[in-house]
Amino acid sequence: MSTHQSASENPSSDQTSPSDAPEAAGAPADHGATVASMFDGIAGRYDLMNLVMTWGQEPRFVRRTVARAELPDRPVVLDLATGTGDIALEVLRSHYGAQVTGADFAPEMMEVGRKRPGGGQIDWVEADAMDLPFEDNTFDAVTHGYLLRNVADIPTTLAEQFRVLKPGGRMVALETSPAPDNMIKPFSTAYIKYVVPQISRLITRTPGAYEYLSATSRGFKTPAQIQALLEEAGFEGVGHETHLFGTLAIHWATKPL
C-alpha cells in the first residue's frame, strides 16, 4: 500500500524527533564507528533481515527508489550507505553504461556486495557520509537506503550530497518512517518493536543490532520533517511517497541548475 505526497505539500509537522534518534540525541563522537561495527557484524544476514523488516517488499522498494532517480543515459551515480549494494546493483541492471560508486563506512558489508553478481562493476569506497571524498558537481544522482537515521548530523549529510551532485542532479532516499496515527499503527509498531527483534534472534547472532534498527525506525523523523530538511539544504522539487502503511518513505529532491 502506498500514498503519494507532492512536492508542494506543507512540510510542517506537529511531531518532534524523539530522543532515541541519533541526530536528535546528540550522538557521541564515536557514533559512526559504533554503527559501522554493528553493521559489519550483521553483514552476512543483512539482506535477509531487510526482507523480514519490509514484509518481503524490499526488492520492489529498491526498484522504485532507482526509478525515482530519473537517471539520464549512462549515468554517474553515487550510492551512499550502499551496504551490500542493492540499490547500486539495481542501477547497473536498469541503466546500460552506468558508472556506479558504492560508498559505506562498513567494509564488511561492502565485501559481501563485492561478491554478488555484478559486484565487480561497482567502485566500492569506504567513506563517511558527512565528509565525502569526492569533488564538487561529480554525480548525476545520489541514492541511499536507510542512511539518514544512522548519521549523527542530517543537515551536514545532506549538504555533502548537495555539494557532490551536478546542477540538476537528483537525490533519492529510501527511509523508514514512524508509524502515522491510523488504525494500523498498533500493529505496525508491535511488528517492528517486538516481532522483528525476535525473528532476528532466529537468523542472526547479533539481535541487539536489530533492536537498534527497530528503535531508530520508530524514533526517526517524519517524511514532512525530512522534506523540510531537504529544502533547508537548498534542494528544490522536493517530494516523497509512503509505503507499508506509512512506515517507509521514498524521498526525492533536485539540485538547482
Q: Per the annotation, where are the binding residues?
A: 84, 104, 128-129
- Distance of alpha carbon 225 from alpha carbon 180, whole angstroms: 13
Cell digits for 103? Answer: 560508498
Contact present, 112 and 48 (Cβ < 8 Å): no
Going by the annotation, the residues of the binding site for S-adenosyl-L-methionine are: 84, 104, 128-129
Q: In what order do the strands lie in the sheet with 165-176?
A: 2-5, 236-243, 248-254, 165-176, 139-145, 76-80, 99-104, 123-126
Residues 6+ apart with CB under 8 A from 148: 23, 154, 157, 173, 175, 220, 221, 226
Contact present, 98 and 92 (Cβ < 8 Å): yes
Pairing assessment for the beta strands 165-176 and 248-254 based on DSSP bridges = antiparallel
- Distance of alpha carbon 208 from alpha carbon 225, whole angstroms: 28
- Distance of alpha carbon 156 from alpha carbon 210, whole angstroms: 26
Strands (E), the chain: 2-5, 76-80, 99-104, 123-126, 139-145, 165-176, 236-243, 248-254
Supply angle C-alpha 6, 7, 13, rounded to 5: 90
Report the Cα–Cα distance between both ends of the chain, in Å, rounded: 34
